[in-house]
Structure 1
Amino acid sequence: MRSKLVMAVVGTLLLAGATACGEDSTASSSTTTGDSAAVEAAQAEIEEASTPLTFTAPGPPLDASKSRGSSIHVVALNLQVPLLSHISEYVSEVGGELGMKVSIHNADDQVTGMQKGIQDAIAQRADALLILGVPVDLVRSALQDAKAAGIPVINVLNNPIDMDAPGQGAGEEFYASVGTDLGLGGRLIAEKAIVDTDGQANVLFVDSEGLSPQPPVAAAVKETLGECDGCTLETKNVPVANWGTDITPLVVTSLRANPNINYVITLFDSMAIFATAGVQQAGAAGTVHVVSHNGGSAALSLVKKGDVMTADPGVSEEWAGWAAIDQAMRGMQGLEPGDPMVPYLYLDTASVQDVDVENERDVYGDPFVAGFRELWGLE
C-alpha cells in the first residue's frame, strides 16, 4: 500500500504538460481567541470517522455464480502507479476466485494505448469494463462505443461521486463508479488542524488545481476553515508536475514569510511528504505540523513518527477492488448499480502506533471480505 486516489490522475496532468507553479493566496480574517464551537464540532466528526470500519452492503444480494465464465477488461492509465497496479491485482485475484476471466491493459500514459484498451474490450466482447485513472475526455468516443456495444463501464477511484448524475458522477458513458467521500476527506484534515490548535489554526493550504478529485477536497478544506472564527487560511497552488521540485521550497519560504503559520495542509498525501521536508528545513518541526489524506503507507510512516505529520485519513485499495467487482457483476446481470462509496478511516499518530502501515488489512481491517462473500452467495 503506497499511494491512493491522487496517483491515478498523475499521468493525466503529465499528459497535459503542466508546468509553472502558480500561487493563489487567500486569507480569512483571524481573531486572537480560538473558536471553541469549531473545535467541538471538528472533534465530533473526527471521532466518528475513527471508529473501526464495518461493511454495509452496497445493494441487494446477487448470485456470483451467474457471472462465472464472464470476462472483465481493465484499462489502466499506467501500471507503474501503485494504486492502479494494486487495484488491478485485487480485481484479478477476486475475479479469478469467482471464475471470471480478467484481462488487464496497461495504456502506459499513451492516449492511443487507452483507446486501444477500450476497443480491445469491445472486440473481445467483454462483459464489463473497468477504467482506472484514464482521463475520460481523452477517450470519450471510445467509451461511447463501449456503451453502444452494451458493455457496462465502471470508473474506479477516478471521479467525485454524485448519485444524481449519470454514471454516479463519472458521466453519460458509464454504468457506475467506485469512489469515496472526498468532501469528508477535506473536512477531516481541516478539522485536525482546528482541534490541534484549539481553534486557532493558521493554515498554509498547498493545493493542486486540475486534478479531477480536487474540487470537493479543496472546497471542504476552505469551507471548514472559513467557518472557524479563530482560523486563517493561505492557499498556494502547485501543479502535479512540480510537486517534487516546488512544494518543499514553497513551504520553507511561506513559513519564513509568515511565522504565524502553525499547520500545513496538502491536497493529497503524496504532497505532504514534500511539505514535511519543508517544515523540517525551515527549522519548524515541533511548532508547525502537516496533515493530509489518502492513507498511503509512505505518508503513514511519517504520521507514525508524529513529529511533523500528524494524520492521514484514507481508504482501502483492496476494498475498492472488491467494490469494483461488485459493480461489474451488477452491470453484467442487468441490475441497478450499487452504492459506490468506499468508506474513509481517520488515521493519526495514536491510531497507527501498533499498526504495520505497509499492510492494508492491518490498517483498515477486512470486514468487506466476509461482507461481499455473503452478499454474493459464497457463504
Structure 2
Amino acid sequence: MRRTLAVTALLLLAVFIAACGSSESGSETTGTSTATTSAGGGDAAYLEENAALVERYLSEKGTFLPPPERSPRPQAGKHIALVSCGQTVIPSCGLEINAAREAAEALGWRTTLIDAANGDPVSTGPGIQNAVAQRVDGIFTYYVDCEYIREPLQAARDAGIPVVNSNGRDCDQSDSAAPSLFTYTIRYNAGDGSFQEWVDEVSIAQARYAIDKLDGEAHIGFATDSTSAASVAVGRTVEAAVKECGGCSIELLLFPIGDIGTRLQGKAESFLLKNADVNTVIPAYSAIMQGGLIGAIQTARRDLLVSVGEGLPEGIALIRDGKAQYGYGLSYGWEGYAAIDSLNRILNEEDPDVNSGIGVKLFDEEHDFPSGDDWVPPYDYQALYRKAWGVDQ
C-alpha cells in the first residue's frame, strides 16, 4: 500500500513496536511525556520536514487512492452478521455498520445486526455465537478487538465462517502466543496497510499540524479511550512521535469508552485545568470530542488549537463556529464498503488482500474545508465499488 513517506514509515514502525506494550484495556490513566531539547521550538530541519508532511496531508487528495477497479461477481442470497461497537454510544459505529448494510444489500445479501450494549465489546459475544449457530455466510466486526470475543471468533473459525474486521486488533496482536482469529482486516493506504499503521499516521498527522502551526511549540493533550487496545496503542505512538519535536510536549487522557458523555466531560475539565501548558487538544476520534471533550474545552479552556477528529457534521459545525480549527477526513461509509468487498472476495475464494485506498487527509478552513455539512472523500467510492461489483447504481 501506499506511500507513507520513508521518514514517516520508519518513525511509525519504531513507535508501533513500542506501543505494543501499552497499558491494559479498560484501565483509566493519565500519562505524561515531555521533550524540550531546544528552547526555540525545535530543530529547523525537523520543522521543515514536518511542514512538508503537513502540506502533503492538506493537499487535495492527501494520500487517498481510488478503491480497487475490479471485484468478483457477487453471489446473491448470502447472509452476513454485522457486529457494531455501539450504534448509539459511538455515532461512527452506526455510520460504518449502516454503510456495510447498504453495500451488502446492493449485492443481494441479507444482514443481521449485533450491537455492543453501552459500547461493551464483550456483550457482542452471544450474538456472534448465535450467528454461528445460524450458519451465516460471513461476519463483519467493526471496532471490536479480538480479545473481547475470542471464543465466538474461534467458533466461527471452527465452522468455516469468514470474519472480516475493521478498526480492531487481532488476538495475536494483543498476545503473541494467541492465534489470529480474524480472517481478514481491511487494508489502508498507509505503511504496511494495517489499521494500526493507518490510525498511527492519521493521529501523528494531527500532531504534526499543531507542531507546524505553533512553530514547534505544541503542547498536546491527546484524548483516547482505554477500552480498545488499538486506541491505547495509538496514544502511545503519538506520544513517542511528539518526542521527536524539541520544544513540544504531550499529555495523554485515557478513559473507559463507557465514560463518553457526562463522566468524560468532568474528567476532561480536570485534565485541562491541571495541565495549564496544554495549547492543543486532539481526540482519537470525533465521538470523544462530541461526547464531553468540547464541553470541557468551552468550560475550562477556550484558548486552544483544537482538532475535531473525523470530518463529521458536528465537527464541521464546531470549526464554522470558531470552536475548533482543523480535522482529518475519514469516510466510515468507505470502510463499510471495503469490508463487504473483502467478504465478497473471500466468498468467491479470491485473495481479499487489496488496498482499499483509504489514506490520510487533513483539512482546515483554508484547505479543502467542506462546503456542506460533511467531509466528502476525494473519490466516489460507492459508485466505484458498485462498478467493480457489476451491480446497478
Instruction: Determine if the TM-score, normalized by the shorter chain, exceeds 0.5.
Output: yes
Q: 1:309 to 1:159 in 2, by over 3 A?
A: farther
1:34 to 17, 29, 41: 41
**2:76/2:109 contact within 8 Å kept:** yes
CA RMSD of aligned residues (A): 3.4
SS in 2 for 1:299: helix
- After the TM superposition, which residues 294-373 of structure 1 pair with which residues of structure 2 at under 5 Å, given as runs? 294-305=310-321, 307-339=322-354, 341=356, 342-351=358-367, 353-357=369-373, 359=374, 363-373=376-386
Q: Cα distance, 1:47 vs. partner?
A: 2.3
72-81 vs 325-334, which deviates more?
Answer: 72-81
SS in 2 for 1:318: helix
CA distance in 2, matches of 1:187, 1:326: 28
2:95 maps to: 86
1:24 to 31, 48, 52: 31
2:131 corresponds to 1:121: yes
CA distance in 1, matches of 2:33, 2:49: 24
- After the TM superposition, which residues 211-290 of structure 1 pair with which residues of structure 2 at under 5 Å, given as runs? 211-245=228-262, 248=265, 259-273=276-290, 274-282=292-300, 284-285=301-302, 287-290=303-306
Q: 1:372 to 1:27 in 2, by over 3 A?
A: same
**1:72/1:100 contact within 8 Å kept:** yes
1:106 maps to: 115
- The residue identity in structure 2 corresponding to 1:372 is Y
Q: 1:118 to 1:340 in 2, by over 3 A?
A: farther
Q: 1:95 to 1:289 in 2, by over 3 A?
A: same
SS in 2 for 1:293: strand
- What TM-score do the two structures reach when normalised by structure 1? 0.78
Q: 1:344 to 1:124 in 2, by over 3 A?
A: same
**1:330/1:338 contact within 8 Å kept:** no
How many positions carry a matched residue from both structures? 350
CA distance in 2, matches of 1:64, 1:130: 19
**2:26/2:226 contact within 8 Å kept:** no
- The residue identity in structure 1 corresponding to 2:97 is S
Q: Cα distance, 1:246 vs. partner?
A: 5.5
- After the TM superposition, which residues 1-20 of structure 1 pair with which residues of structure 2 at under 5 Å, given as runs? none
- After the TM superposition, which residues 177-216 of structure 1 pair with which residues of structure 2 at under 5 Å, given as runs? 177-178=185-186, 180=195, 181-216=198-233
1:4 maps to: none
CA distance in 2, matches of 1:174, 1:157: 12
- The residue identity in structure 2 corresponding to 1:24 is G
Q: Cα distance, 1:329 vs. partner?
A: 0.6
- The residue identity in structure 1 corresponding to 2:257 is V
223-232 vs 130-139, which deviates more?
Answer: 130-139
Q: Cα distance, 1:371 vs. partner?
A: 2.6
1:45-97 Cα offsets, whole Å, 9 max, x none, are: 22222334454445x833224x2222222233433243232223222222222
SS in 1 for 2:328: coil
CA distance in 2, matches of 1:174, 1:55: 25
Q: 1:297 to 1:137 in 2, by over 3 A?
A: same
SS in 1 for 2:246: coil
2:13 maps to: none
2:162 to 130, 152, 174: 152
**2:327/2:364 contact within 8 Å kept:** yes
Q: 1:204 to 1:310 in 2, by over 3 A?
A: same
Q: Cα distance, 1:354 vs. partner?
A: 4.7
Q: 1:336 to 1:108 in 2, by over 3 A?
A: same
- What TM-score do the two structures reach when normalised by structure 2? 0.76
**2:145/2:228 contact within 8 Å kept:** no
**2:221/2:252 contact within 8 Å kept:** yes
Q: Cα distance, 1:190 vs. partner?
A: 0.8
**1:182/1:216 contact within 8 Å kept:** no
**1:160/1:182 contact within 8 Å kept:** no
